[in-house]
A = this chain, B = another copy of it.
């Protein structure tokens, strides 16, 4: 029961204690634990029994010091933890945590100084890799001043440098899904209300919606895309505009769920039945909006958690020295509810 030398100064058992208890050397104990080296089965078992008895857990700092790896990745989010980055972050955490990798959370609040601060911190901690997520789909400049040996994956907001690895949502496919669904349910006079034109997501979704309509020989019911804000208030105003311009509109594809909800509210208040008279389709599948809407919204789900998960997998791959640069898109999914 007495473990050779002094009892461990830290309350925890060290490998040396295990070795002493098992009657082997420290090196042998290590090999027994890691399955390396050859040894008699009963010797290995004695070591494992000792581990069990002492409740030994290896000191990760020592392991990391030796291996140079920290079994940790940095997760930098640039806008607080917004509605978009949260699921991405959770997806990544899930994929990484399944292994023995943990996630260091860094929030830059969009501040370049903070970003540098965190970057230095992560570098000092010798993280194995970094995932950068943004709030929007607009490309962002790559991290600067970073040790090139640390792999980086950009999620949601791609890097402007095509040599980096980015994982983004498929806005084209999303718009396609929404429009196709409306067409398939017999709608032909479709309007599009979305966010600010200077947002890439708004532009992309609009462009692909228009293209897809054109492919079916159709045009937008109001003849143009209604760019505005990502808000309910804008959705309400835009709905009025749509009804004025093209009273025969039978569907509105909205750039996000907030707009869609505003549209649905305004339509109802103008005496239009949703979906009887006019179908409404949103984008984001943000539960609190989509489910609270009257009626609940059909909407495009970007599979954000999946984006996070894939970003994590790409990162793991890059850590194993098999980087796969370029922009990877993750398909969306249509969630059909009662508004269409």
Chain A interface (Cβ within 8 Å of chain B)?
Answer: 10-12, 57-62, 64-65, 68, 70, 72, 75, 80-81, 86, 89-90, 93-94, 97, 100, 102-107, 117-118, 120-121, 123-126, 147, 149, 231-233, 258, 288-289, 292
Contact = CB atoms under 8 A, between A and B. Distances in A.
A81 B89 contact: yes
Given A62-B65, A90-B80, A124-B57, A104 B107 contact: no
8 nearest CB pairs, A to B: A61-B65, A61-B64, A105-B105, A232-B292, A103-B105, A81-B86, A65-B65, A102-B104
A94 B86 CA distance: 17
B60 A120 contact: no
B70 A233 contact: no
Nearest to A94: B107
Nearest to A121: B102
18 contacts: A10-B68, A58-B124, A59-B126, A61-B61, A61-B70, A75-B105, A80-B86, A81-B86, A90-B107, A93-B107, A97-B106, A97-B107, A100-B121, A104-B104, A105-B105, A258-B292, A288-B288, A288-B289
B107 A11 contact: no
A195 to B, nearest CB: 15
Copies of chain A in the complex: 2
A57 B145 CA distance: 14
Nearest to A236: B294
A149 B10 CA distance: 11
Contacts of A105: 75, 89, 93, 102-105
Given A124-B57, A125-B60, A126-B60, A118 B97 contact: yes
Q: Which of A58, A126, A149, A292 gathers most chain B CB within 10 Å?
A: A292
A149 B58 CA distance: 17
A113 B184 CA distance: 45
Given A68-B10, A97-B118, A149-B11, A233 B292 contact: yes
